[in-house]
Structure 1
Amino acid sequence: MKVSQEHWRRNIYLFLISQFLTGITSMIVQYAIIWYLTKKTGSATVLSIATILGMLPMVILSPFVGPMVDRWNKKGLLIFPDVFAACFAIILSVSGTVFHVFPLWLIFISLLMRSCAQTFQMPTIQSVMPTMVPDKELTRMNGQLGMVQSANMIIAPALGAFLFALIPIEYLILLDVLGAIIGICILTFVQIPNNEKIDQPMHVLHNTKLGIKQLTSNKGLWSITLIGAVFTLTYMPAASMYPLMTMKYFQGTVSQAGLIEAIYSSGMFIGGAIIGIFGKWKNRMKPVIIAFFLVGIPTGISGILPGNQTGFVWFAVLNIVEGIATPFFTTLLMAMIQQSYPPKELGRVLGVLNSLLNLAGPIGLIFAGPLADIIGIERLFIIAGIGSAICGIVALMMPLTRQYDIRLHEKLAGKE
């Protein structure tokens, strides 16, 4: 089932606006919590634990969430996580207001619950996109969704750093509640098609096994998934250390940490804009493979920069390049996945795929904190850069991955 062709554009832009508003307030709160932890503890291990808790629900729950996304009301699955996250924002705010302290355990629980909510939201967004836009516009609209997410990531750290210095964190957290209210109000006017009713009872483990079978039987996509998992394993430890890299290694401030996030996200916005405007490549694997190198090389160079403000300036420049490259991997890969499976099967496949891609992150992060405290944060960036470049080389050398999109286009053309 799809939205009627004559109204799809107005419908999708209302949807993007709602995602922008809920996303930006949620991200401001997320940044505020991470900066609070960085400023109060200065510990790589604490940041690693916070990042692990943010990823763990996606790893554990994603395979089981997929079948639910295929069957449950899509609009409800988008609204419920916002309400859930807003409730925990209120709990955290009340704790800070009444007791004038944020216990680490409560912050960790809040991050865990926020991640549980997002685990339902992201596969839902990914699965509804093909039903809301015409097939020929899917890559471009995924690019524009990427632009919205990048715009959030540009504005949120800069605005968050300003508000963090101006407003006590116990009140700043309540922005999550405001964003949820406004975003949900807009979402009520958006038409989101549900899949055709599936009469069979839901067997979560059976559907998860089916999702694994469908993913592994697609040899090209399975190879790309495994390469992506290795990339996550090597890159996530460095990515989680960005605030400490700025504030500890380069001797910067919270404002400069926010600036780096905004610069990286500005690059993502530019990359998303390029995809949104010119995203009709016949072989999308070419820019995906190039993206591995454009992320890896600048990340590795970041680890050998001098630990002063001159090094910080070059760090900022390198993050523009990384940011531009990032959407070429995430957005183009998602468009290929969406075109590889029918909408009614997409939820369970995305659940398994998201779980596998994110599984490597917590594994790397378990060692990242203690390792960074021993060998230095900057050396994690060197390891991440080398790992990313190796993933690019492997993807380039394997015909299954290199030619995947060409074969996908041939398969889709044969169905027309």
Structure 2
Amino acid sequence: MTTTHLQSWRTRVALLLAGQTLSLIGSSVVQYAIVWHLAMRTDSGAVMTVTTLCAALPQAIVSLFGGVWADRWNRKALIMLPDALIALATVALALSIANGGEALALFFVILLIRSAGGGVQTPAVQSLIPDITPEEKLLRVNSINGTIQSVNMIAAPAIAAVLINIMPLWAILYVDVTTAVIGIAFVALIRVQSAARTRSNEAPSVLTEMRAGLRYAWRYPRIRSVLISYALVCFVNIAPMNLTLLLMNRGFQGQTLDLRFTVLETAADKLAANEMAWSVGMVVGGALLATVGAKLFHDNMALLAAAFFGMGIGTVALGLAPTLLLYLFVDFLIGVSTAIGTSPTYTLLQQETESDMQGRVFGLLTTFSGFGTPLGMLVFGPLADVVDVRVIFVVGGVLTIPFGVWLLRVDKRWARKVR
């Protein structure tokens, strides 16, 4: 019996989730610290637009290649290598800041590198999960993964808010380096029987395989509709959500909120509360799916449509919220809606995509959503310096709802065909 067989699927999943959890929390703390530093330093919609482009566009482009690589090469290596390269880039930024180098261009370059690493890693992670998980457990594992990541997103802004008030930015950057090393070690312990993905002399080119992945996705209406709707929702909804930093700074400046266990007074406190409210909602939504939802709900497309409805209505409410307390409550509900859509989306694609095409399909998902967000920011970011940022949230929310209607129609047509 091989070592792979001695290692149960639960052990392999636990090692993967543990490694990704540790890597994510360090990356999130540093990402929050960098973005907040730039937001508080500039208070500029233009700078937030460039920041979003640098954080999203490289991942969108590289994911096209990352998806092909995930179908062709060792998925474990494609998960670990980006963490190592990002850690090295983060060390370089820390050393530069410690020696007085804080040019905006430097921050943008590091964000570009971090984003590109995600373009390689994300398709590999999503493709490795069905390699080590029984199909009937996929929704549960994806929901647990989403819940763990959401817990990290609660901890990360809280940690970042504390650290940014007591430590220089260069020192905070080493948090990511430490967690990356530990995360790589966990993933290295996973034993997987690798499929033959090594390139031969007759293997098609990367561009040919990318085109094959796109043709494959377009052949199936459910996969195609998920990819398109994700991209367009990122354009009209997720992009404006990147302006919550400006909404908090401008809309609730001077407001103090006493939550009994803490008082939100400073800009850093409010930015952390903004992230944490959404993340708590993600935890609640993910926990519901991982427990009750995985047993009761089996229509992943309908769950994604419901998530779009919730995100659209919630985004409108964010723009209309008169108080910080109501804003945070609505932000929590948007987090619940987001979790209800994320795990079913991954599960649907994992179940309905052939194993040797999963990397490319997830690469397309990352690319489509990755392009949607920066393109949306090119529109909404500059507008935030011209019009009331609240109007942008209302418009973005209203434009999100039709995509939920579209997915329900696609789902009903598919249900009639399989009867």
Deviates more, 1:220-229 or 1:108-117: 220-229
Query: Shift of residue 156 of structure 1?
Result: 0.2
Structure 2 residue 90 is the aligned partner of structure 1 residue 78: no
Shift in CA distance, 218/183, structure 1 to aligned 2, threshold 3 Å: same
Q: Distance in 2 between matches of 1:56 and 1:264?
A: 23
2:316 matched to which residue of 1?
300
Residues 302 and 407 in structure 2, CA contact (< 8 A), matched pair in contact too: no
Query: Shift of residue 324 of structure 1?
Result: 0.7
Q: Distance in 1 between matches of 2:16 and 2:370?
A: 26
Q: Distance in 2 between matches of 1:202 and 1:191?
A: 28
Query: Shift of residue 234 of structure 1?
Result: 0.4
Deviates more, 1:292-301 or 1:276-285: 276-285
1:327 matched to which residue of 2?
339
Q: Distance in 2 between matches of 1:137 and 1:171?
A: 41
Q: Secondary structure at the match of 1:375?
A: coil
User: Identity of counterpart residues, as a percentage?
Assistant: 29
Shift in CA distance, 54/192, structure 1 to aligned 2, threshold 3 Å: farther
Query: Shift of residue 237 of structure 1?
Result: 2.5
Q: Distance in 2 between matches of 1:163 and 1:407?
A: 55
Alignment of 1:158-177 (within 5 A): 158-177=158-177
Alignment of 1:24-173 (within 5 A): 24-99=25-100, 101-173=101-173
How does the TM-score come out when normalised to structure 2?
A: 0.91
Residues 221 and 401 in structure 1, CA contact (< 8 A), matched pair in contact too: no
Query: Shift of residue 287 of structure 1?
Result: 2.0
Unaligned runs of 5+ in 1: 412-416
Residues 21 and 182 in structure 1, CA contact (< 8 A), matched pair in contact too: yes
1:314 matched to which residue of 2?
326
| Counterpart among 377, 387, 405 of residue 365 in structure 1 | 377
1:189 matched to which residue of 2?
189
Residues 236 and 365 in structure 1, CA contact (< 8 A), matched pair in contact too: no
Q: Which amino acid aligns with 2:214?
A: I
Shift in CA distance, 124/106, structure 1 to aligned 2, threshold 3 Å: same
Give CA-to-partner distance per residue, 1:169-200, whole Å, 9 cap, x none.
01111111111111112222122443234544
Unaligned runs of 5+ in 2: 254-265
Structure 2 residue 359 is the aligned partner of structure 1 residue 343: no
Residues 45 and 381 in structure 2, CA contact (< 8 A), matched pair in contact too: yes
1:249 matched to which residue of 2?
251
Number of residue-to-residue matches in the alignment: 401
Q: Which amino acid aligns with 1:144?
A: I
Cα-Cα RMSD: 1.9
1:10 matched to which residue of 2?
11
Structure 2 residue 401 is the aligned partner of structure 1 residue 401: no
Shift in CA distance, 403/13, structure 1 to aligned 2, threshold 3 Å: farther
Shift in CA distance, 304/225, structure 1 to aligned 2, threshold 3 Å: same
2:262 matched to which residue of 1?
none
Residues 282 and 336 in structure 2, CA contact (< 8 A), matched pair in contact too: yes
